[in-house]
């Protein structure tokens, strides 16, 4: 497998004399380092085609003294940036060694990726001077297409300074991305209502990770053996950013087709991008796919006039255009500015969404408080108490033991209602116990049996209080059960959470959909308060005359 490492000419500091061509000699003769020796088997080669991988070579250059940089007050240096160990000779004199070149793996000691050695002024001759770089590269984990980046004469220290200053504007943007990523990560950790903040946080942190991998070369003098792993990390972070971008955009604007868009984007990112021709091309292809698929996901709401969708679509279109136009320069530096602009638009949109949801939750809480009072009122309504007490007096006269059980069931009912009415969530098992105590009371009042059958273990599920109790109350409010009946609760695990199906027995009265009634309003209000938009409630009649209500709870309710 061959990887491409982008040339770094754009990263060079000022005042450099960069070598563009040289003679490459394959000889083990140390005389190759001499000005006029060892010229056999030498081939003139462009700089970025100089390749010492798996072999030992001598790179010869002739430099006129008048072409050399003459920095005021600064010493000169020879700079070599290559995936190789190297020794540098000037006019036959050894200036320094970066590791130890060798004929094979055993004899080579790996050197640094970027190496600078002092060039004493007294060694520079008027007219032509000979520069020879002895190189070998036997320790690379993968082959690089362009393993030699720079051979130059420059002011001492300007190579690393040039690389660092090249990345400095992008590094300055990392602080904003990191803070935003940590903010949304903390927001998700506290609320866990929506996955959007988590995806935004991941995007920001992946972008920061890519920046760290890109700029590492200007910050750390690492051995050439780590250069390919660094480039791989750039590609990994670029691909992860692109997949997370698709996940966020589709979750925000096309939630019902999120899996489709993820499949359309992630599959080619994971299978095609790694085989793109050139290492720089791999993350570029991933980013182009990510931005185009995200643009496709936001297209429909943008076409319908959604302002947020249109702003996001414009940012994505600009991002994709920069990928194509800027190419390698986009990956090295401009990516981070484009990410800041794109994610700035997404951050503002997400903050507005969270604000709207918080306002909706506050409104739902106010409605829920009113409905809780209604729930308690319904539970201790005068007619309910009077009918129950009348029934109790009859049972005490005819069957004192049954009357005592009715008193216990009524006490359990009142205590449970008082305990749960001010809680956001209670275990589903507690809710089913509340329903059973209510059905016990109704069994004594009607003198026919009513039971609750839970067909699936409740596990650790939690629900807002009083929801199933309200459905049971509605059943008795709208039906007459002359022969009793069996209420059924079925729990089904789904890909997105759990569905709770509550079925009431067929009754003797026709029943209409009461979706605007107080009971159903209470249920919808409590679900909105607890789960925002991620829970739903549907209800309808069954062919046999019964009634089924389905409560869909999101993942995380267990």
Query: E strands, 30-139, where?
Result: 42-46, 56-64, 76-82, 85-90, 93-98, 114-119, 128-136
Q: Answer yes or no: are the C-beta atoms of 322 and 334 closer than 8 Å.
A: yes
* pLDDT (mean) for 335-348: 75
pLDDT greater than 70 at residue 437: yes
pLDDT greater than 80 at residue 421: no
pLDDT greater than 70 at residue 513: no
Q: pLDDT digit string (tens) for 227-272?
A: 989 988 988 998 999 999 999 889 888 888 888 988 988 898 988 8
pLDDT of residue 253: 86
Confidence of residue 9 (pLDDT cuts 50, 70, 90): very low
pLDDT of residue 194: 72
Neighbours of 506 (CB within 10 A): 16
pLDDT of residue 6: 34
Distance of CA 188 to the CA centre of its chain: 12
Least confident of 42-51, 330-339, 372-381: 372-381
pLDDT greater than 50 at residue 380: no
pLDDT of residue 287: 87
pLDDT greater than 50 at residue 281: yes
pLDDT greater than 50 at residue 330: yes
Q: Decide: residue 382, CB within 10 A, 0-12 exposed, 13-18 middle, 19+ buried.
A: exposed
* pLDDT (mean) for 435-458: 84
Cα separation, 260 vs 279, whole angstroms = 28
* pLDDT (mean) for 37-65: 85
Exposure string over 538-555, b if 16+ CB within 10 A, otherwise e: ebeeeeeebbbbbbbbbe
Cα separation, 229 vs 221, whole angstroms = 14
The better pLDDT of the pair 472, 157 is held by 472
| CATH code matching the domain that covers 2-156, chosen among 1.20.1740.10, 2.60.120.260, 3.40.50.2000, 3.40.630.30 | 2.60.120.260
Confidence of residue 461 (pLDDT cuts 50, 70, 90): confident
Confidence of residue 395 (pLDDT cuts 50, 70, 90): low
HSE-up of residue 452 (Cα within 13 Å, Cβ side): 24
Confidence of residue 82 (pLDDT cuts 50, 70, 90): very high
pLDDT of residue 11: 47
Fold of the domain spanning 382-554: Heat Shock Protein 90 (3.30.565)
Exposure string over 125-164, b if 16+ CB within 10 A, otherwise e: eeeebbbbbbbbbbbbeeebebbbbbbbbbbbebbbebbb
Q: Kindly report the average pLDDT of the chain as a whole number.
A: 79
Q: Answer yes or no: are the C-beta atoms of 105 and 140 closer than 8 Å.
A: no
For the chain, count helices (H), then strands (E): 13, 19
Distance of CA 314 to the CA centre of its chain: 21
pLDDT greater than 90 at residue 135: yes
* pLDDT (mean) for 167-181: 72
Confidence of residue 399 (pLDDT cuts 50, 70, 90): low
pTM above 0.85, yes or no: no
pLDDT of residue 4: 29
Q: Answer yes or no: are the C-beta atoms of 313 and 295 closer than 8 Å.
A: yes
pLDDT greater than 80 at residue 67: yes
- The ranges assigned to domains in the chain are 2-156, 163-358, 382-554
pLDDT of residue 322: 81
* pLDDT (mean) for 381-408: 58
* pLDDT (mean) for 273-291: 83
pLDDT greater than 50 at residue 3: no
| Secondary structure of residue 151 in the 3-state scheme | strand
Cα separation, 62 vs 5, whole angstroms = 26
pLDDT of residue 96: 94
Q: Decide: residue 480, CB within 10 A, 0-12 exposed, 13-18 middle, 19+ buried.
A: exposed
What is the spatial order of strands in the sheet that 497-504 belongs to? 450-454, 485-494, 497-504, 547-554, 536-541
pLDDT of residue 193: 64
| Secondary structure of residue 238 in the 3-state scheme | helix
Compute the Cα dihedral for 103, 109, 114, 118 and give only its sign: negative
The better pLDDT of the pair 511, 533 is held by 533
Q: pLDDT digit string (tens) for 180-229?
A: 778 778 777 776 667 878 888 898 889 888 888 887 877 788 999 999 89
Cα separation, 285 vs 323, whole angstroms = 9
Least confident of 4-18, 104-118, 190-204, 299-313: 4-18
pLDDT greater than 80 at residue 150: yes
Neighbours of 233 (CB within 10 A): 16
Neighbours of 443 (CB within 10 A): 18
Beta carbons within 8 Å of 57's beta carbon, 6+ residues apart: 24, 25, 26, 50, 134, 135, 136
Q: pLDDT digit string (tens) for 83-130?
A: 999 999 999 899 999 999 998 999 999 999 989 999 998 999 999 999
Cα separation, 337 vs 168, whole angstroms = 12
pLDDT greater than 50 at residue 425: yes
Confidence of residue 133 (pLDDT cuts 50, 70, 90): very high
pLDDT greater than 60 at residue 393: no
pLDDT of residue 226: 92
Neighbours of 48 (CB within 10 A): 18
Percent of the chain clearing pLDDT 90 (strictly above): 20
pLDDT of residue 108: 94
């Amino acid at each position: 497998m061959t990887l491409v490492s982008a040339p770094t000419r754009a990263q060079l500091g000022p005042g450099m004399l960069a070598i563009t061509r040289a003679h490459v000699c394959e000889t083990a003769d140390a005389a190759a380092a001499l000005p006029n020796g060892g010229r056999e088997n030498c081939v003139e080669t462009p700089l970025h085609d100089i390749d010492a991988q798996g072999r030992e070579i001598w790179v010869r250059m002739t430099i006129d003294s008048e072409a050399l940089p003459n920095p005021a007050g600064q010493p000169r240096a020879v700079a070599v940036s290559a995936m190789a160990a190297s020794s540098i000779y000037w006019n036959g004199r050894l200036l320094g060694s970066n590791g130890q070149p060798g004929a094979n793996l055993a004899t080579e000691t790996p050197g640094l990726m970027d190496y600078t050695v002092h060039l004493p002024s007294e060694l520079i001759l008027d007219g032509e001077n000979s520069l020879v770089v002895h190189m070998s590269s036997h320790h690379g984990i993968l082959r690089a297409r362009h393993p030699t980046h720079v051979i130059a004469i420059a002011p001492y220290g300007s190579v690393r300074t040039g690389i660092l200053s090249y990345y400095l504007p992008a590094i300055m943007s990392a602080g904003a991305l990191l803070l935003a990523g940590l903010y949304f990560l903390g927001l998700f950790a506290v609320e866990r209502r929506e996955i959007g903040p988590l995806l935004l946080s991941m995007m920001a942190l992946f972008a920061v990770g890519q920046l760290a991998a890109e700029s590492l070369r200007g910050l750390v003098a690492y051995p050439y053996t780590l250069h390919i792993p660094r480039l791989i990390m750039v590609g990994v972070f670029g691909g992860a950013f692109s997949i997370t971008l698709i996940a966020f955009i589709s979750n925000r604007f096309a939630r019902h087709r999120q899996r489709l868009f993820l499949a359309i984007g992630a599959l080619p990112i994971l299978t095609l991008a790694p085989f793109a021709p050139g290492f720089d091309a791999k993350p570029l292809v991933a980013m182009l796919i990510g931005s185009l698929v995200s643009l496709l996901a936001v297209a429909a709401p943008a076409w319908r006039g959604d302002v947020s969708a249109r702003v996001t679509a414009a940012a994505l279109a600009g991002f994709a255009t920069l990928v194509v136009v800027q190419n390698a320069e986009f990956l090295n530096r401009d990516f981070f500015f484009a990410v800041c602009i794109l994610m700035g638009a997404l951050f503002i949109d997400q903050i507005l969404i969270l604000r709207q949801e918080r306002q909706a939750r506050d409104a739902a809480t106010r409605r829920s408080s009113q409905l809780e009072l209604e729930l308690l009122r319904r539970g201790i309504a005068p007619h309910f108490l009077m009918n129950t007490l009348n029934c109790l007096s009859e049972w005490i006269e005819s069957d004192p033991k049954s009357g005592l059980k009715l008193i216990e069931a009524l006490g359990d009912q009142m205590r449970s209602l008082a305990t749960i009415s001010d809680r956001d969530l209670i275990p589903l098992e507690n809710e089913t116990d509340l329903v059973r105590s209510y059905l016990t009371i109704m069994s004594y009042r009607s003198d026919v049996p009513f039971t609750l059958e839970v067909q699936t273990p409740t596990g650790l599920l939690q629900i807002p209080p009083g929801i199933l109790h309200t459905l049971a109350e509605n059943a008795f409010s709208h039906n007459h059960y002359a022969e009793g009946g069996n209420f059924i609760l079925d729990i089904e695990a789904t890909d997105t959470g759990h569905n709770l199906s509550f079925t009431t027995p067929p009754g003797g009265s026709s029943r209409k959909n009461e979706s605007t009634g107080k009971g159903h309003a209470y249920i919808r209000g409590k679900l909105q308060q607890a789960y925002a938009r991620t829970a739903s409630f549907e209800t309808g009649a069954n062919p046999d005359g019964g009634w089924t209500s389905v409560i869909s709870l999101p993942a995380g309710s267990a």
